Amino acid sequence: MLRFLLRSADGLTALLFVAFGLAVAWGATSYSLGTPGRMGPGFFPFVLGSLLTLLGLGVFVSGWVKREPGEFGPTPWRAIVCITASAAAAGVLLESFGLAPAVIASTFMSALSEPRANWLRVAAVSIALVIFAWLVFIVGLDLRLPMVRF
Protein backbone atom coordinates (compact mmCIF):
# COMPACT_ATOMS: atom_id res chain seq x y z
CA MET A 1 0.00 0.00 0.00
CA LEU A 2 2.84 2.40 0.79
CA ARG A 3 4.35 1.68 -2.61
CA PHE A 4 1.00 2.53 -4.26
CA LEU A 5 0.78 5.80 -2.32
CA LEU A 6 4.26 6.96 -3.23
CA ARG A 7 4.64 5.66 -6.79
CA SER A 8 1.32 6.30 -8.49
CA ALA A 9 -0.37 9.52 -9.51
CA ASP A 10 -3.60 8.47 -7.77
CA GLY A 11 -1.74 7.58 -4.59
CA LEU A 12 0.17 10.86 -4.44
CA THR A 13 -2.96 12.85 -5.22
CA ALA A 14 -4.88 11.04 -2.49
CA LEU A 15 -2.05 11.61 -0.02
CA LEU A 16 -1.93 15.32 -0.84
CA PHE A 17 -5.72 15.76 -0.60
CA VAL A 18 -5.94 13.90 2.70
CA ALA A 19 -2.99 15.82 4.18
CA PHE A 20 -4.37 19.23 3.20
CA GLY A 21 -7.91 18.27 4.18
CA LEU A 22 -6.86 17.11 7.63
CA ALA A 23 -4.67 20.17 8.14
CA VAL A 24 -7.51 22.55 7.24
CA ALA A 25 -10.07 20.66 9.34
CA TRP A 26 -7.68 20.54 12.30
CA GLY A 27 -6.84 24.25 11.95
CA ALA A 28 -10.55 25.12 11.84
CA THR A 29 -11.10 23.53 15.24
CA SER A 30 -9.22 26.40 16.86
CA TYR A 31 -12.23 28.56 15.97
CA SER A 32 -15.78 28.19 17.19
CA LEU A 33 -17.59 25.68 14.94
CA GLY A 34 -21.14 26.49 15.99
CA THR A 35 -24.03 24.52 14.52
CA PRO A 36 -25.39 24.23 10.98
CA GLY A 37 -28.13 26.69 12.00
CA ARG A 38 -25.72 29.18 13.62
CA MET A 39 -22.39 28.66 11.96
CA GLY A 40 -19.27 29.84 13.70
CA PRO A 41 -16.12 31.07 11.91
CA GLY A 42 -14.62 27.59 11.90
CA PHE A 43 -17.63 25.76 10.48
CA PHE A 44 -17.04 26.38 6.77
CA PRO A 45 -13.28 25.59 6.78
CA PHE A 46 -13.96 22.47 8.86
CA VAL A 47 -16.56 21.23 6.37
CA LEU A 48 -14.28 22.03 3.39
CA GLY A 49 -11.34 20.25 5.02
CA SER A 50 -13.51 17.23 5.78
CA LEU A 51 -14.82 17.13 2.20
CA LEU A 52 -11.27 17.38 0.83
CA THR A 53 -10.24 14.49 3.08
CA LEU A 54 -13.18 12.40 1.84
CA LEU A 55 -12.30 13.28 -1.75
CA GLY A 56 -8.73 12.11 -1.12
CA LEU A 57 -9.98 8.84 0.32
CA GLY A 58 -12.22 8.41 -2.73
CA VAL A 59 -9.28 9.00 -5.08
CA PHE A 60 -7.25 6.47 -3.10
CA VAL A 61 -9.95 3.79 -3.28
CA SER A 62 -10.56 4.43 -6.98
CA GLY A 63 -6.85 4.20 -7.79
CA TRP A 64 -6.40 1.16 -5.59
CA VAL A 65 -9.23 -0.68 -7.37
CA LYS A 66 -8.04 0.01 -10.91
CA ARG A 67 -4.32 -0.35 -10.04
CA GLU A 68 -3.01 0.94 -13.31
CA PRO A 69 0.58 2.06 -13.10
CA GLY A 70 0.48 5.76 -13.85
CA GLU A 71 3.40 7.23 -15.67
CA PHE A 72 4.43 10.70 -14.65
CA GLY A 73 4.95 12.91 -17.65
CA PRO A 74 7.03 16.05 -17.84
CA THR A 75 6.10 18.82 -15.41
CA PRO A 76 3.79 21.31 -17.16
CA TRP A 77 5.70 24.43 -16.10
CA ARG A 78 3.94 26.67 -18.59
CA ALA A 79 0.53 25.77 -17.15
CA ILE A 80 1.75 26.13 -13.56
CA VAL A 81 3.18 29.60 -14.21
CA CYS A 82 0.22 30.85 -16.29
CA ILE A 83 -2.47 29.67 -13.88
CA THR A 84 -0.62 30.93 -10.80
CA ALA A 85 -0.03 34.31 -12.45
CA SER A 86 -3.68 34.36 -13.48
CA ALA A 87 -4.87 33.96 -9.89
CA ALA A 88 -2.46 36.64 -8.66
CA ALA A 89 -3.49 39.03 -11.42
CA ALA A 90 -7.16 38.51 -10.62
CA GLY A 91 -6.56 39.60 -7.05
CA VAL A 92 -4.62 42.69 -8.07
CA LEU A 93 -6.98 43.68 -10.89
CA LEU A 94 -10.12 43.20 -8.79
CA GLU A 95 -8.97 45.91 -6.40
CA SER A 96 -7.81 48.31 -9.10
CA PHE A 97 -10.17 47.79 -12.06
CA GLY A 98 -13.22 45.87 -10.85
CA LEU A 99 -14.75 42.44 -11.23
CA ALA A 100 -15.24 42.24 -15.01
CA PRO A 101 -11.67 43.19 -16.05
CA ALA A 102 -10.23 40.89 -13.37
CA VAL A 103 -12.27 37.90 -14.56
CA ILE A 104 -11.55 38.58 -18.24
CA ALA A 105 -7.80 39.02 -17.71
CA SER A 106 -7.65 35.95 -15.49
CA THR A 107 -9.45 33.85 -18.08
CA PHE A 108 -7.16 34.93 -20.91
CA MET A 109 -4.01 34.47 -18.79
CA SER A 110 -5.15 30.97 -17.86
CA ALA A 111 -5.77 30.20 -21.52
CA LEU A 112 -2.10 30.95 -22.24
CA SER A 113 -1.31 27.65 -20.53
CA GLU A 114 -2.74 25.82 -23.55
CA PRO A 115 -0.64 26.42 -26.68
CA ARG A 116 -3.52 25.63 -29.06
CA ALA A 117 -6.25 27.61 -27.31
CA ASN A 118 -9.23 28.68 -29.40
CA TRP A 119 -9.34 32.41 -28.61
CA LEU A 120 -12.94 32.84 -29.73
CA ARG A 121 -13.96 30.13 -27.26
CA VAL A 122 -11.82 31.77 -24.54
CA ALA A 123 -13.61 35.08 -25.18
CA ALA A 124 -17.01 33.38 -24.91
CA VAL A 125 -15.99 31.63 -21.70
CA SER A 126 -14.68 34.87 -20.19
CA ILE A 127 -17.99 36.63 -20.91
CA ALA A 128 -19.91 33.71 -19.41
CA LEU A 129 -17.65 33.84 -16.33
CA VAL A 130 -18.24 37.57 -15.91
CA ILE A 131 -22.00 36.96 -15.96
CA PHE A 132 -21.62 34.05 -13.54
CA ALA A 133 -19.41 36.09 -11.17
CA TRP A 134 -21.93 38.96 -11.29
CA LEU A 135 -24.78 36.57 -10.49
CA VAL A 136 -22.94 34.88 -7.63
CA PHE A 137 -21.10 37.76 -5.96
CA ILE A 138 -23.21 40.81 -6.65
CA VAL A 139 -26.74 39.45 -7.06
CA GLY A 140 -26.53 36.33 -4.90
CA LEU A 141 -24.16 37.34 -2.09
CA ASP A 142 -24.87 41.08 -2.29
CA LEU A 143 -21.17 42.01 -2.18
CA ARG A 144 -20.38 45.60 -3.04
CA LEU A 145 -17.90 44.88 -5.82
CA PRO A 146 -17.72 47.32 -8.72
CA MET A 147 -18.11 45.67 -12.11
CA VAL A 148 -15.73 48.18 -13.69
CA ARG A 149 -13.66 50.79 -11.88
CA PHE A 150 -11.75 53.54 -13.66
CA gap 131, 150 in Å, rounded: 20
Please check whether residue 147 lies inside any domain of the structure.
no
What pTM was estimated for this model as a whole?
Answer: 0.62
Closest CA to 28 of 50, 55, 6: 50
> Which of 66, 98, 113 is where one domain is finished?
66
Domain that holds residue 21: 2-66
CA–CA–CA angle 100, 103, 104 (5° rounding): 85
Per the model's pLDDT, the better-predicted residue between 35 and 79 turns out to be 79
Per the model's pLDDT, the better-predicted residue between 81 and 74 turns out to be 81
Confidence class for position 53, pLDDT limits 50, 70, 90: very high
Q: Are residues 148 and 100 in contact, defined by beta-carbon separation less than 8 angstroms?
A: yes
> Which of 29, 47, 66 is where one domain is finished?
66
Confidence class for position 11, pLDDT limits 50, 70, 90: confident
Total number of domains constituting the chain: 2
Per the model's pLDDT, the better-predicted residue between 62 and 101 turns out to be 101
Please check whether residue 72 lies inside any domain of the structure.
no
**pLDDT value at 3 more than 70:** no
CA–CA–CA angle 93, 48, 67 (5° rounding): 105
pLDDT tens by residue, 91-131 = 999 989 999 999 999 999 999 999 898 999 999 999 999 99
CA gap 3, 17 in Å, rounded: 17
